[in-house]
Amino acid sequence: MNTQTDTAVSSPASSMSTAVILAAGRGTRMKSERPKVMHPLAGQPMLRYLIDNAAQVFDRIVVVVGPGMEDVAALAAPHAVVVQHDRLGTGHAARQAEEAFGTGDVAVLYGDNPLITSGTMRALLERKRRDDTALALLAMEPADPGRYGRVVMQGDQVTRIVEWADANDQERAIGLCNAGVLCASAGDFRRWLSEIRNDNAQGEYYLGDVVACAVADGGRVRAVVAPEDELRGINSRAELAMAEACVQARLRQAVMAAGTTLIAPDTVFLCVDTVLEPDTVVHPHVVFGPGVHIRRGTEIHAFSHVEGAVVGPDASIGPYARLRPGSDVGEGARVGNFVEIKATTLGAGAKASHLTYLGNATVGSGANIGAGTITCNYDGVFKHQTEIGADSFIGSDSVLVAPVRVGDGVITAAGSVITQDVPDGAMAFGRARQSNRDGYAQAFRQKLKNKKEQG
């Protein structure tokens, strides 16, 4: 049953290569109501990595989902989606996509093995197409083989896969481990899938049994060895954290190679779409959420959090700054320590140096926002806009109650509450009147002491 693109399943082109991605797992060990393949890595669902890389290698992609996984199907669009209504194992899941195989080569991938690169996928497909290979599989040589299935070789050919539980001591000493990803011609795959049985403790059809079918057929089975970090399966929160570390290492290396300085790389966290232009400098303990573009020459100081924002060039952020979605910081502008901005534009050279909140605001070029300033942008129902003109000076501890416009070149006195528009060049005072009572402080303190003595 194809839930999205019926034509792709019913009329496949004979020479097209196909990637089938198995994504029907519920991820019981994740202890989550969210489908396993929807858990994010560097701000992006893990399934998206596999789809994007497979799209660079294969002509067609088919994603196998479970019932009720509309969010997974939507993420897979516009690729074809089929539903595995009964979860009877990985072999059964692959059979659900048989109509989409065509007559070209087919690779079966796993949605919870998201870090396989396009280069490794291409090597797998090329291995299948060389030397009369009937079946190609991905294998790895992990530092700790643990309970992985072992790949038994004779020369350059795979003779069998033995599961750890069934292996003897000699077989467990083998360092080459099975990653489970297979590639064969569509016709062979269909035949072998029809031959596998579910006479095991779980009563499931295992895709890995295809290897034994290929060997029994007399076909050549060959392994492509890939790095362990690419072939990590994700079945638990701990394994998700390990995969996140792998993705972050890749992203950090990429931005440094492109000209960004990360002073303490292991403490900086990036999203897959983070853009850091050359000559940016990122200090320790900085987190980038989705949708960030940092322009050339900008410096992000320690303990800052940036999400959904465009910054620079030559701007300065932090330390301890928070930029929320919709923020646009202009050339040479400064967002200092303990400053939060949201849906706010800072013009070139504008400064909010410390202890400030700017929400739904436009700040003109060269403006200076004093410490403790806030824009009151929310009335409990609607968000309102504050406009601060170019070269204005907003005194410390000012409160700007939106909607309000402060013109160009304005000064607001420290401690003012601004509720009305201020024209260009004016100085605004919004303070309550101060009165001083001479000598009253000592009498007031004595009064309080008397009350305390009286209980």
245 annotated to bind ligand: no
Q: How far apart are CA 351 and CA 333, in angstroms?
A: 6
The answer to whether the annotation marks 24 as part of a ligand binding site is yes
Query: What is the Cα–Cα distance from 194 to 204, expressed in whole angstroms?
Result: 13
The reply to whether 112 sits in an annotated binding site is yes
Annotated binding residue 118: no
Asked whether residue 396 is marked as a ligand-binding residue, the answer is: yes
324 annotated to bind ligand: yes
Count other Cβ atoms within 10 Å, centred on residue 437.
8
Is 77 labelled as part of a ligand binding site?
Answer: no
182 in Cβ contact with 139 (< 8 Å): no
**In DSSP terms, which residues pair with 345 in a beta bridge?**
328, 362
Considering Cα of 37, then 42, then 48, then 51, what sign does the dihedral take?
A: negative
Residue 111 known to bind ligand = yes
Among positive and negative, which fits the CA dihedral 115, 119, 120, 122?
positive
Contact 326, 344 (CB under 8 A): yes
- Is omega for the bond preceding 145 within 30 degrees of 0, making it cis? no
Q: Is 149 annotated as a binding residue?
A: yes
Q: What is the distance of C-alpha 250 from the center of its chain?
A: 13
Contact 329, 315 (CB under 8 A): yes
Amino acid at 145: P
Is 291 marked as binding a ligand? no
Chain centroid offset of residue 96 CA: 29
State the DSSP code for 99: G
Pick the catalytic residue: 39, 283, 305, 354? 354
90 marked among binding-site residues: yes
53 labelled binding-site residue = no
Q: Can you read off the two tokens belonging to residue 278?
A: 């050359």
Q: Is 320 annotated as a binding residue?
A: no
| Long-range contacts, stretch 196-200, CB < 8 angstroms, 24+ apart | 196/91, 198/88, 198/89
Q: Is 25 annotated as a binding residue?
A: yes
Burial 358-395, CB ≥16 within 10 A → b, else e: bbbbbbbbbbbbbbbbbbbbeeeeeebbbbbbbbbbbb
163 is in an annotated binding site: yes
CA-nearest of 260, 263, 226, 227 to 246 is 227
354 catalytically annotated: yes
In sequence order, the β-bridge partners of residue 65 are: 83
On whether 395 is known to bind a ligand per the annotation, the reply is no
351 assigned to a ligand binding site? no
What's the rounded Cα separation, in Å, for the pair 30 and 183? 28
Residues in a beta bridge with 182: 108, 137
**Which residue reads 């304005």 in tokens?**
410
333 is in an annotated binding site: no
User: What's the rounded Cα separation, in Å, for the pair 304 and 254?
Assistant: 21
At 263, which helix (H) or strand (E)?
Answer: none
434 is in an annotated binding site: no
Residue ranges at the known binding site? 22-25, 36, 84, 89-90, 110-112, 149, 163, 178, 235, 324, 342, 357, 368, 371, 377-378, 396, 414, 431
Query: Annotated binding site for Mg(2+), which residues?
Result: 112, 235
Q: Name the binding residues for UDP-N-acetyl-alpha-D-glucosamine.
A: 22-25, 36, 84, 89-90, 110-112, 149, 163, 178, 235, 324, 342, 357, 368
Active site residue ranges: 354
